[in-house]
Structure 1
């Protein structure tokens, strides 16, 4: 972005549909230190003109699994298949053949974690919006360090 892109901030970009977004959302499981190091590397790469994915990080695999349930992944896929937006949460619930309240709660939770956006139009309907073409899950499983010496024969 250039300095002129920031003219009128935040009004100019108050609607997430008007903001520039990368094609990929990267969802990771990493410690705070790893996330910090990745952020610094991304800033350096962006300064060199490289496009960077949007990143949402979770501290544990368990936290990620609580948020990205099969039903919520279904919401994300449905939004991706509708060019990133639904007419409303009601319309999304109807498409999914699910109860409005549970879809509303799921969309709200995904928005709270920065995975989707909720856009309020003039008619006050809330539209779920997913600006990414792809979501990349980056989860690395490693052995747990128990601090114990390995058993020897």
Structure 2
């Protein structure tokens, strides 16, 4: 059995767009009967940057390189205070970007793609 590569697509969409995209993805996955990736949707750039700031993005990048590790080791690798790293990891876990089990924390995705568009109407 081959391992399915996990992908996470992060988007900023209006609530209406997010609902439509979710329905479309569900129907596509249902009809094809195969893994269609995982999605994280924010309804504004402000919400996106509240969750994924520069410090947290650095943690995600480092975790992808390290693989499963402890919060203490991650803090050591990024040269940050363990408590601050723990706080940031907790938020990333709540949003499904990082996973934790008895063996440690990890980014379970082989690929993460962030996509959003700013238009004059939204500005």
Aligned residue in 2 for 1:76: 60
1:97 aligns with 2:66: no
Does the Cα contact within 8 Å between 2:11 and 2:116 map onto a contact in 1? Answer: yes
Label 1:131 to 1:72 Cα distance change in 2 as closer, same or farther (>3 A). Answer: same
1:64 aligns with 2:45: no
Q: Which runs of 5+ in 1 are unaligned?
A: 1-19, 122-126, 147-153
Give the distance between the partners of 1:27 and 1:140, measured in 2 at CA: 12
Q: Map 1:68-147; keep pairs closer than 5 Å.
A: 68-83=52-67, 85-86=68-69, 88-121=70-103, 127-144=104-121
The structure that is helix-richer by fraction is 2
Greater C-alpha Rg: 1
Aligned residue in 2 for 1:9: none
Give the distance between the partners of 1:82 and 1:26, measured in 2 at CA: 21
Structure with larger RCO (C-alpha < 8 A, sep 6+): 2
Give the total of aligned pairs.
120
Q: Which runs of 5+ in 2 are unaligned?
A: none
Match of 1:52, SS state, is coil
Does the Cα contact within 8 Å between 2:6 and 2:110 map onto a contact in 1? Answer: yes
Deviates more, 1:47-56 or 1:91-100: 47-56
TM-score, normalised to structure 1's length?
A: 0.71
